C-alpha cells in the first residue's frame, strides 16, 4: 500500500519511519510512505502557504492553491485510473474517531493521501473540493495533523504480514474481534515476585483452560470498569456467553471484589 502525506514538517516523520518494529513495514515496501511539502507548490520568494482569515479573528489559515497543486501532483505521481483514486483524508477535530475497525480497513486498502493541517485550519474551499474523509484521534486539538498521521501509519503498518514477530500478536490486541471487541487483560513476566507483588496464581498453574478463563474474566472486568460501552456492544452482538453474563452480574453487584 502507498500512503502520501502532505505536511509542512516532513522532517518530523524521518525518525518515525526508521524506528521500532513497524520500520519493517516501511523498509520492506509493504507500506510505502511519500512525504510532500505544500510549501514546494507555493508561489513567491517566501513560498507562503497561509494567510489571514476573512472576517477577522486570531491565527492564520492554510491557503487552498498550494494544497491543491500538491494534491494534484500526488494524483499524477500515483498514476491512478479514473474512479480509482485513493481517498484524500484530512485529520481534523470534526472528523470521525479513528478506531480498530477503521484501521483494519485501511490496512487492507491500496492507501490514501493523508493531509496534515496546521494553524487555524484549511481554506474550506479546498476541503469541499478535494477531501473525501476527515478523521479525528479524539476530543482534543493538536498543533497539527502530523501526530495523527503517525498514529494511523503505525496502526496500519503493524497489521501488515511479517511486521510483528508473532503473526498472531495483533489478534490479542484490545478492540480486536478475536477478543469480541473487549480490552486486553493484564500481562506479567519474570520475576514471579517483584517488590512484594506476585504473579496471579492461575497464570502459574499450567492449566491452560483455567488460564484462558482467568484472562477472559480479566478482560470482561477491565472493560466493564473502563469501557462499559464495549461490553454492551459485545452483548448486542451476541458475543457474551451465559457464563460471561453471570460473571458480569456478580461484578456489578460486588464491584470491589477482585476478578
Which run of H or of E encompasses 97?
strand 88-97
Q: CA-CA distances (angstroms) from residue 127 to 47, 57, 69, 78?
A: 21, 20, 14, 20
Of the residues 23, 69, 75, 120, only one is catalytic, namely: 120
Query: Is 128 considered catalytic here?
Result: no
* Residue with grid cell 474550506, as numbered in its chain: 124
Of the residues 10, 87, 93, 200, only one is catalytic, namely: 93
End-to-end CA distance of the chain: 42
Sheet-wide strand order for 133-136: 32-36, 2-6, 111-115, 88-97, 133-136
From 191, 249, 193, 195, select the one nearest 217 (Cα to Cα): 249
Write b or e for each residue in 204-243: b if 16 or more Cβ atoms lie within 10 A of its Cβ, otherwise e: eeeeeeeeeebbbbbbbbbbbeebeebbeebeeeeebeee
Q: For 188, how many CA atoms within 13 A lie in the half-sphere containing its CB?
A: 15
Of the residues 65, 154, 173, 184, only one is catalytic, namely: 173
Q: For 2, how many CA atoms within 13 A lie in the half-sphere containing its CB?
A: 11
Query: Is 158 considered catalytic here?
Result: yes
Quote the CA–CA distance of 22 and 1 in Å, as a whole number.
Answer: 14
Of the residues 158, 215, 216, 219, only one is catalytic, namely: 158
Query: Is 93 considered catalytic here?
Result: yes
Residue 34 bridge partners (DSSP):
4
Residue positions annotated with a catalytic role: 93, 120, 158, 173
Amino acid at each position: 500500500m502507498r500512503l502520501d502525506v502532505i505536511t509542512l514538517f516532513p522532517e518530523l516523520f524521518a525518525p518515525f519511519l526508521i524506528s521500532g518494529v513497524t520500520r519493517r513495514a516501511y523498509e520492506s515496501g509493504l507500506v510505502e510512505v511519500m512525504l510532500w511539502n505544500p510549501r514546494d507548490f507555493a508561489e513567491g520568494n517566501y513560498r507562503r502557504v497561509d494567510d489571514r482569515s476573512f472576517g477577522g479573528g486570531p491565527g492564520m489559515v492554510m491557503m487552498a492553491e498550494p494544497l491543491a497543486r500538491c494534491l494534484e501532483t500526488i494524483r499524477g505521481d500515483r498514476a491512478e485510473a479514473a474512479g480509482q483514486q485513493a481517498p484524500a483524508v484530512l485529520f481534523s477535530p470534526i472528523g470521525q474517531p479513528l478506531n480498530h475497525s477503521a484501521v483494519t480497513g485501511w490496512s487492507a486498502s491500496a492507501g490514501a493521501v493523508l493531509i496534515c493541517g496546521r494553524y487555524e485550519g484549511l481554506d474550506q474551499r479546498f476541503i469541499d473540493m478535494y477531501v473525501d474523509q476527515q478523521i479525528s484521534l479524539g476530543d482534543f486539538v493538536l498543533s497539527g495533523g502530523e501526530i495523527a498521521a503517525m498514529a494511523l501509519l503505525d496502526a496500519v503498518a503493524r497489521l501488515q504480514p511479517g511486521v510483528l514477530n508473532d503473526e498472531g500478536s495483533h489478534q490479542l490486541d484490545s478492540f480486536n474481534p478475536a477478543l469480541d471487541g473487549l480490552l486486553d487483560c493484564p500481562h506479567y513476566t519474570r520475576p514471579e515476585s517483584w517488590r512484594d507483588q506476585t504473579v496471579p496464581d492461575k497464570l502459574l498453574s499450567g492449566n491452560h483452560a483455567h488460564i484462558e478463563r482467568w484472562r477472559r474474566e480479566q478482560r470482561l472486568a477491565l472493560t466493564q470498569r473502563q469501557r462499559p460501552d464495549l461490553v454492551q456492544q459485545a452483548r448486542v452482538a451476541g458475543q457474551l456467553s451465559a457464563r460471561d453474563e453471570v460473571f458480569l452480574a456478580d461484578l456489578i453487584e460486588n464491584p470491589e471484589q477482585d476478578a
